[in-house]
Amino acid sequence: MDFTGFPGLAGKTAIVTGSTQGLGADIARGFAAAGANVVLVGRGAEAGQALARTLGAQALYCETDIGHDSQIQGCIDAALARFGRLDILVNNACQYSDRGLASTREEWHRTLDTNLVSAAIFTQLAAPHLPRGGVVVNMGSTGGKFGAAGRALYPASKAALLQITKNFAVELAPGGVRVLAVSPAWTWSPSVEQLAGSREAADTVGAHFHPLGRVGSGEEIAAAVCFACSDAASWMTGVDIPVDGGFSILGPDRGISPRAWFKELAP
């Protein structure tokens, strides 16, 4: 995919949290390909440094525990020291562990702290440095829009993230800073690979829930994030961009007519 066509990204600096692997790494690669400087944020030093070396001088790995405000501030300071500016923040870091109704108070606190509170604090501390035209992207999910048995922590955190996207968009708009969300559906990533075993298996299962007949790729999500941060989206703020292969347009009937369901399931 050609990332050079996103206007206004070259020379800007983006911080991407949770970017040592998976979707975050794909987003970081997209920014780098578009000509932006990128700060890789995570706790996997070996993977983060390896990706930074691959991306070259326009990348900086910053080992950061986003559960600590001082480390968030240290990351922002490192970005400014290295690149002299901060234009984009992508709140991508996420914890997926979820036991639904059986989750303990500690598990609730841990997940919400990573997926929601840390994103809010990162935005709070980055905002004073974002210029007019700056952008914050919160990574949402179709999981934050629909009910699912056995899950509660992850969906609740993503639903709340979509809400603060609206709140922060209103608050930061007078300074010319835009805030958007990008919500993928099933995307080929380490977590999906662990479930499916292969991309072929993931696409076969995913075809039942995505009208486009497959799961998404990290590169496709990265392209949506880069678009959201580019000048091409300069009149967009406070909204969620679904990048989900049609997942969110389906109801429980999966787009299959009642006639077909009664034919298959009626006694």
Residues known to be catalytic: 154
Residue 261's CB is within 10 A of a number of other CB atoms, namely: 12
- Rounded to whole angstroms, the Cα distance separating 84 from 91 reads 21
Alpha helices in 209-252 (DSSP H): 218-229
Separation between Cα atoms, residue 212 and residue 102, nearest integer Å: 34
Residues forming a β-bridge with 17: 41
How distant is the alpha carbon of residue 251 from its chain centre?
Answer: 24
- Are the C-beta atoms of residues 24 and 44 closer than 8 Å to each other? no
DSSP secondary structure letters along 84-132: S---EEEE--------GGG--HHHHHHHHIIIIIHHHHHHHHHGGGPPT
58, 36 Cβ separation under 8 angstroms = yes
For 14, the enclosing helix (H) or strand (E) is strand 13-17
Q: How far is CA 213 from CA 131, 220, 244, 247, in A?
A: 40, 15, 11, 10
β-strand pairing of 59-63 with 88-91: unpaired
Site of tokens 């969906």: 155
What stretches of the chain show up as alpha helix (H) in DSSP?
22-33, 45-55, 69-83, 105-112, 118-126, 153-172, 190-196, 199-206, 218-229, 258-265
